[in-house]
Amino acid sequence: MTDHKTLMKEALKAREYSYAPYSKYHVGAALLTASGKIYRGCNVENAAYSPANCAERTAVFKAVSEGEKDFKAIAIVGGLEGSGTEGAFPCGVCRQVLFEVVDENTFEVIVGKNEEEYSVYRLSELLPFGFRL
């Protein structure tokens, strides 16, 4: 079973590819599937600003577009260029995107600085009453 520390390490690796020349805020995410596979994602910004994609959504869209359907947890790490890392809570849009594809009562959101310092939340704590059709 992949542990929280491993997922945090993967999120730190994902952050290395973050493309954030505008905000300079670099984010990495690591999404764990039920079969133990990890999909990494980073934020990808754009000169037109609004097309930017968050790290969490990059990871979710990569996984779903490869046929993955069962997710256990996501680890997220952020931080301004040149500063240390910090816990980056998923934005509201990313919470709703996760809500669509996971069981919010069991899915874990791991937010922290590194593999030693992090906290674990359930998605249901971060997005109560998410929208479902």
Interior angle at CA 126, CA 121 and CA 127, nearest 5: 140
Helix ranges, 1-133 (H): 4-15, 55-64, 92-101, 123-126
Q: Which is nearer to ligand THU, 54 or 123 (CB)?
A: 54
- Out of 16, 66, 81, 91, name the contact with ligand THU by CB under 6 A: 91
The two tokens of residue 56 are 């969490």
Q: Which is nearer to ligand THU, 1 or 48 (CB)?
A: 48
Helix ranges, 39-115 (H): 55-64, 92-101
Q: Which is nearer to ligand THU, 56 or 115 (CB)?
A: 56
Task: Verify whether residue 66 is a known catalytic residue.
Answer: no
Residues 21-80 that bind ligand THU (CB under 6 A): 23, 25, 27, 43, 45, 52, 54-56
Rounded to an integer, what is the distance from CA 15 to the centroid of its chain? Answer: 10
Q: Are 19 and 4 in contact (CB under 8 A)?
A: no
Catalytic option among 45, 56, 104, 115 = 56
The two tokens of residue 131 are 């929208």
Decide: helix, strand or coil at residue 64: helix
Least Å distance, CB 55 to ligand THU, is: 4
Stretch that binds ligand THU, among 4-12, 86-94, 96-104, 121-129 (CB under 6 A): 86-94
Q: Which residues are catalytic?
A: 56
Binding site for ligand THU (CB under 6 A): 20, 23, 25, 27, 43, 45, 52, 54-56, 88, 90-91, 94
